[in-house]
Amino acid sequence: MVIATIKGIQVDQDEQSYRITWTSGAAVDADGANGQAGKPFAYRYPDNDGWDTLADAGYPSQSWTDVLYDDGTGHPLTDGHGNAYSKTSYVWPGRSVAERSVDACTVPYAVVNPHVRRNSIGVVIGCRVVISFNGRQVEAVVADVSGPNDIGEISVAAAEALGINPSPRSGGIDSGVSYQLFPGTAAVINGITYSLQPA
């Protein structure tokens, strides 16, 4: 059954297995990259010299606090050296700001459209996803939610695994990426089991 159509791309969910599939392009998402494992931060403030641009986080004109933490004065929270902390929809409970989001630089993850998340049978955030491109595939976790008109987005680590340019500013690909989500089945990445997190 069709659970969403975004930009002309049909998202299907099998009524028996509940597997969700679609094929689209893949933009590259760096959200959640907060210096874990010594990797770069996704965003820098105020110099805007991070992997991704502050404008892609919506700063300053949109609802940027969905992506970046507010320092309490209406500006992005940083580590004191200009590195701004960003969020993913998946949250590790009980962890510090630096560690609670999924690290886009080291963890292969997919981003889902909110209509897909809302209309699917089964829990999507934290579930297993297999992403394929050009004969390669990577096991990943659904870790983030996109804007309502976006479809097809993967983490820096997923792009690297698939041989896609991993730059959030200039990378990604326009077509040919297949997504298979398994709602209700927790992802296991690098030996770590993710919890399923309902909306």
Main-chain dihedrals φ then ψ at residue 9, nearest 5 degrees: -95, 125
User: Which of 146, 115, 112, 114 is closest to 129 using CA atoms?
Assistant: 112
What average pLDDT does this structure show over 66-95? 97
What average pLDDT does this structure show over 66-88? 97
* Percent of the chain clearing pLDDT 90 (strictly above): 96
pLDDT tens, position by position, 37-62: 899 999 999 999 999 999 999 999 88
Q: From CA 74, how far away is CA 152, in angstroms rounded? A: 30
Q: Is the dihedral of CA 188, 190, 192, 194 positive or negative?
A: negative
Looking at residue 169, its pLDDT comes to 95
What average pLDDT does this structure show over 151-173? 97
Looking at residue 9, its pLDDT comes to 97
Q: What is the SS3 assignment for 12?
A: strand
What average pLDDT does this structure show over 51-76? 94
Looking at residue 199, its pLDDT comes to 79
Looking at residue 47, its pLDDT comes to 97
Hey, where are the domains in the chain? Answer: 2-31+103-193
pLDDT tens, position by position, 93-151: 999 999 999 999 999 999 999 999 999 999 999 999 999 999 999 999 999 999 999 99
Looking at residue 62, its pLDDT comes to 82
Looking at residue 10, its pLDDT comes to 97
What average pLDDT does this structure show over 81-101? 97
Give CATH superfamily name and number for 2-31+103-193: RlpA-like domain (2.40.40.10)
Looking at residue 168, its pLDDT comes to 95
Count each helix (H run) and each strand (E run) in the chain, helices first. Answer: 2, 12
Looking at residue 16, its pLDDT comes to 93
Main-chain dihedrals φ then ψ at residue 20, nearest 5 degrees: -105, 135
Kindly report the average pLDDT of the chain as a whole number.
96
What average pLDDT does this structure show over 14-35? 97
Looking at residue 20, its pLDDT comes to 98
